[in-house]
Chains A and B, each alone.
Chain A
Amino acid sequence: MELVRAHILVCGGTGCTSSGSKAVQEALHRELKKQGLDKEVKIVETGCHGFCEQGPLVIVYPEGTFYCQVQVEDIPELVEEHLLKGRILQRLLFTEPLTQERVPHYKEIDFYRKQRRLVLRNCGYIDPEKIDEYIARDGYVALAKVLGEMTPEDVIEEIKASGLRGRGGAGFPTGLKWGFAAQAPGEKKYVVCNADEGDPGAFMDRSILEGDPHCVLEGMLIGAYAIGSDEGYIYARAEYPLAIKRLKIALAQARELGLMGDNILGTDFCFDLHIKEGAGAFVCGEETALMASIEGQRGMPRSRPPFPANSGLWGKPTNINNVETWANVANIIRNGAKWYGQFGTEKSKGTKVFALTGKVKNTGLVEVPMGIPMREIIYEIGDGILGDKKFKAVQIGGPSGGCLSEGQLDLAVDYESLGSAGAIMGSGGLVVMDEETCMVDVAKFFLDFTRAESCGKCTPCREGIQRMREMLQDFSEGKGSLEDLDKLERLAQTIKDTALCGLGQTAPNPVLTTLRYFRDEYEAHIRDKRCPAGVCRALLTYYIVPELCRGCTACARVCPTGAITGKVKEPHVIDPEKCIKCGACMEACRFDSIILK
């Protein structure tokens, strides 16, 4: 193995790649060569570090110096300062917004300090395309332990004892699920990894697959051994080409080393995996639809029971877990259930990865211990609301989840607490909203999504979401009556009670939770014909502030309906009767004198 004096880790996650990390990496190669350092310093492309907001990210070891927003132009200076002169390049360090201090090491940044990176322990640290680096970080040790020292029953007991619950959203105890599949009669059994992550804005599973694919493979190998399966599938979104590429590389490398295939590690255990690419349907993340899709059928859910543990893929006992669940397994086996039990709460053990997005200062991928108060995620890790505006709501769990208001900020983030508040843990989407967000508009957004992604099989989901969406449209235009709010609630409840699959049963959650916590905002739309957040266009009027208007006539010239009148060099006026709210005047005004109110 080659010895080098320094490693430069360049983030190759999708976020950093789109902000230019590939060019940064090439520039680094060129500069190192130019300076004659290419034999002494090694560049490693890693998976996602999570702090996508600050990308492209570059970390230099052995010091562990964290440079952010690194551009190609910065490279010569970075190489000269850090690698030739041994000085930290201050201007590329992260600046703590509160104290304005520059922080050299990433573990000291508030964004990382509150996190517990167990699942993401290798993401951003190793080269995901090299199995050696995974093995160097104790990779496949858990598999060896399982095959060498544990019976399948031991493995299931250990997972049960750890308290691990499904990270796809519903939180079913993983050990129990494995036990069902293990006990189900049948020679042929399958294990499946659900990598059809589809919630808008969520990228937890993608980051794991891109940053540490082997930990998923190892988890699946252990699960397969536990339930007695010799064949598995990873069902991944086709929209994740990088994840699929790295999975394929990981699979080939594991096969080459005898960690996948026949007689793994010289034992009788045989197992291999197929990668199945989805075709873009959100509903295929629902396990029965996912299996139908693998079988080549249209991705439509079917009724459960029978559960996949008894009758799954091609009618055989099948165990399905999502990426993050599988990614937890090797850690638990390697360190023991007791070690795992120290993280989280009594009923929700371990950590959860969230994609923190929206109107929060630090966006990115975060992994926190279960039970952490929502406030800490938003205000300490996320560093509060962007532009220091007022917090309004946090949407958790994607289109199946719910919106929580300020009153729920101190809610513990665990399965039970979130459920009692009408939301769900979900797969890890966390969207923060500020005072300028309209909750009717938010509910509309999520229904647009579920309306388009409903498979169309069952009546409540197919027809009901459409009608909910139409009612919300009316409200956003000031139409409807207060009785309609009750009707909307009844409809939402019926859909929740009667829909066939998880997609339909949870699709009303954004409506039900916004009605529960922000009913006054709905009422303002209907009763006062007013959108308090100033979002719903139909309820706003364009207005020219006379004190700011210079009478340049620019607005009057672009107005397509002749709604603006006024003399040159005198304040103009908009006739709300004629105005069609196209917004052309606002764009044309150079003095910011046109406002929406």
Chain B
Amino acid sequence: MKMVNLTIDGCQVEVPLGSTVLEAAQKIGIEIPTLCYEKDLSLATACRMCVVEVEGNKKNLPAACAQPVMEGMIVHTNTPKVREARRMILELMVANHPLDCLTCEANGRCKLQQYCYEYGVKESSFTGERRRFTVDDGNPFIERDLEKCILCGLCVRVCDEVQGVAAIDYSDRGFDTKVTTFMDRGLADSPCVSCGQCVYLCPVGALTAKPSKGKGRDFEVEKVPTTCGYCGVGCQLALNVKKDKIVGVTNLPDNHNQGYLCVKGRFGYDFVDSPERLTTPLIKRDGEFVEASWDEALDLVAQKMAKVRDEHGPDAIAGLSSARTTNEENYLFQKFFRAVIGTNNIDHCARL
């Protein structure tokens, strides 16, 4: 692989040809602010927060996320000119963004808030027209507040490029540009599968997980890594726990599922604290379910299965296994049916 040497903020770095300035900077721990960049997605180069100064380029300030490295390139990421440009961009965003951080779900994890803090943007010096939208809350899991949207396009790209659904895209032009669904009908009436990838990537509070609303900010929750219990894929995720209650889910990237989840993994945790959850086995006696011990229940099942097998033969029994169990449990289940019961009538819900 051909390597390229360049200097960023006085530090030498060697990266493969074809890398970007942003990647080279990340390699040596130089942080460049980004709002629309995500390494697994295509480049948008839309937010322009990552602009840097490249010596010899008098024309403009190129975006680090898209600027390819070149041999001998000298890059400055934190000059007064760069900081002034970033400040101005933040001011432009803030001029069109509600400053309701006090009640915003994204408070504490909002990148716009973080950068405004770093660049000292308290409020915008630009006053004037603001984009006005009504909140789209038709979807049971995802709420869209387009007034907070900064049009980074991460949601559009992740929906199309990772989830393959493309439920949302841009409409209108210029100042009126917005991310919308087909014919502006709202998420509930779109092909959206509520995977929530968009919610996770949204750098601001434009997309929120409805089940988590008001239940705890990012900095209040403990993030407990675990394996999703819904299917055999075994996605890794972190449960957001506040006062021993699960209040949300956070992606855990750098795993086999790259952090991405489906609707069940991301939003289907409310059963954990459901009062209707079974805590003991139940046996039906005289038409009523009655609490029983595990020994009682297992004895009853064993007895009834043996009876069916003895009277009607092993093929009178079939087993259907659940995708919520682990591979090992599924293996044992089929082994039990084949070796103990003596039938091949065994199947699994994921195959249906």
**A-to-B contact residues, CB < 8 Å:** 281, 283, 298, 300, 302-303, 305, 451-460, 462-467, 470, 487, 490-491, 494, 496-500, 505
Whether A456 and B172, one on each chain, are in contact in the complex, defined by CB atoms closer than 8 angstroms, is yes
Whether A305 and B173, one on each chain, are in contact in the complex, defined by CB atoms closer than 8 angstroms, is no
Complex Cα spacing A453 to B173, Å: 7
Residues in B with CB closer than 8 Å to A496 are 60
Which of B85-93, B197-205, B252-260, B297-305 is found at the contact surface with chain A? B85-93
Whether B174 and A497, one on each chain, are in contact in the complex, defined by CB atoms closer than 8 angstroms, is no
Cβ of B151 under 8 Å from chain A: yes
Whether B92 and A463, one on each chain, are in contact in the complex, defined by CB atoms closer than 8 angstroms, is yes
Whether A302 and B45, one on each chain, are in contact in the complex, defined by CB atoms closer than 8 angstroms, is yes
Cβ of B96 under 8 Å from chain A: yes
Nearest first, the 8 closest Cβ-Cβ pairs linking A and B are A456-B177, A303-B66, A463-B92, A454-B174, A470-B128, A303-B45, A494-B88, A466-B175
Q: How far is the CB of A301 from chain B (nearest CB, A)?
A: 9
Residues in A with CB closer than 8 Å to B96 are 463
- Could you give 25 example pairs across A and B, Cβ below 8 Å? A283-B173, A298-B169, A298-B170, A302-B45, A303-B45, A451-B175, A457-B153, A458-B47, A459-B46, A459-B47, A459-B89, A463-B175, A466-B128, A466-B129, A467-B92, A467-B126, A490-B84, A490-B88, A491-B88, A494-B84, A494-B85, A494-B88, A498-B51, A498-B89, A500-B45
Whether B173 and A455, one on each chain, are in contact in the complex, defined by CB atoms closer than 8 angstroms, is yes
Residues in A with CB closer than 8 Å to B170 are 298, 300, 456-457
Q: Mark B40-51, 1 if CB is under 8 A from A, else 0.
A: 000111111101
Whether A460 and B175, one on each chain, are in contact in the complex, defined by CB atoms closer than 8 angstroms, is no
Cβ of B125 under 8 Å from chain A: yes
Nearest CB in chain B to that of A496: its residue: B60
Residues in B with CB closer than 8 Å to A487 are 125
Complex Cα spacing A394 to B110, Å: 47
Whether B174 and A465, one on each chain, are in contact in the complex, defined by CB atoms closer than 8 angstroms, is yes
Q: Mark B279-316, 1 if CB is under 8 A from A, else 0.
A: 00000000000000000000000000000000000000
Cβ of B95 under 8 Å from chain A: yes
Known A470-B128, A494-B84, A496-B60; judge A462-B174 contact (CB<8 A): yes
- Indicate which residue in B48, B49, B125, B177 contacts A499 across the interface (CB closer than 8 Å): B48
Cβ of B232 under 8 Å from chain A: no
Residue of A451, A460, A498 ringed by the most chain B CB atoms within 10 A: A498
Residues in B with CB closer than 8 Å to A499 are 48, 60
- Indicate which residue in B51, B125, B126, B128 contacts A497 across the interface (CB closer than 8 Å): B51
Cβ of B261 under 8 Å from chain A: no
Complex Cα spacing A351 to B76, Å: 41
Cβ of B150 under 8 Å from chain A: yes
Nearest CB in chain A to that of B87: its residue: A494
Interface residues of B in 118-169 (CB under 8 A from A): 125-129, 150-151, 153, 169
Complex Cα spacing A464 to B92, Å: 6
Whether A281 and B48, one on each chain, are in contact in the complex, defined by CB atoms closer than 8 angstroms, is no
Q: Mark B51-90, 1 if CB is under 8 A from A, else 0.
A: 1000000001101001010000000000001001100110
- Indicate which residue in B63, B85, B129, B151 contacts A462 across the interface (CB closer than 8 Å): B151
Cβ of B176 under 8 Å from chain A: yes
Residues in A with CB closer than 8 Å to B44 are 457
Nearest CB in chain B to that of A297: its residue: B169
Complex Cα spacing A462 to B128, Å: 14
Nearest CB in chain A to that of B93: its residue: A459
Q: How far is the CB of A329 from chain B (nearest CB, A)?
A: 28
Nearest CB in chain A to that of B176: its residue: A456
Complex Cα spacing A491 to B153, Å: 24
